Amino acid sequence: MLMDNNNNKKPNVSDGELLNRAIKFAVDKHAGQVRKGTNIPYITHPLETMTILNAMRADTNLLIAGLLHDTLEDTDTSPNEILKNFNKDVVELVAEHTEDKTKSWDQRKKYEIKELEQASKRVKMLVMADKVSNLRNMFLDYCELGDEFWSRFNAPKTKQAWYYSKLIDALVDLQVFDDTAKTYWEMVDLYKDIFVTFIYDQEEKIIYQLDTCGENYYLQKGDTQWHPFDGKIAPHSLVIPRSEAERLEDNWYLKYGKRERGE
């Protein structure tokens, strides 16, 4: 179980000066870079990552790490440069969130997930803020482009689903803290909006939850538990939004008792 070692301290005046320095540092380092497949300046992502961390009441060093989290990986920044401008804690946070680009996509992601399972709460917060920012943008672009969107990535949609589902598992401890629970569940919902299809058989009163990574479940009205599913779905069934599936589940829960989501 993670220890809640986030100090929940709002930035003071001197912290504000450090944050301003970090914003300028990140803007300079990411100058000319754009988000994948768009013309949007890349700096919007580190800024959003910092904003998400701030909503989780992160300490100042963690906010700075959010701003700088891609500088070692995607710019010419060195650890010594971050140390000179900020401090050792910021360097260590950024370094823990930096991938070895000499490795394959699969190797990098498997290593990241393994390390994340044992990481501190602060590192997990940094990773979650980064991934929620990514998922927010992925959802908007996916809604606009459909399956064409996945051509932007080095790994196909199925592998992206595997990766984000494993991240959700590795970050599960964050659901128990008041400062991180809301962001954790936003990540879960974004994952479902992008990678999960909900289908409703109105005649049999069954909701199907079909995950791109292959983990499929069904819930039938009158039952309180989701069950694994690998069968056929009746042709009259309809695809429904996640919000509608959850509304049906909530209504059934009120009538039949405790629910256990198939997540």
The catalytic site residues sit at 73-74
What DSSP assignment string belongs to 158-184? HHHHHHHHHHHHHTGGGGGSTTTHHHH
User: Strands 238-240, 227-228: parallel, antiparallel or unpaired by DSSP?
Assistant: unpaired
Among 191, 211, 210, 213, smallest CA distance to 139 is for 191
CB of 79 closer than 8 Å to CB of 67: no
- 10 DSSP 8-state letter: P
**Token pair for residue 164?**
């984000």
First to last CA, the chain: 20
Selection from 36, 40, 20 nearest residue 86 by Cα: 20
Which of 75, 81, 166, 100 lies closest to 127, judged by CA?
Answer: 166
Q: In what order do the strands lie in the sheet with 227-228?
A: 227-228, 216-220, 206-211, 196-201, 238-240
DSSP character string of 69-86: TTHHHHSS--HHHHHHHS
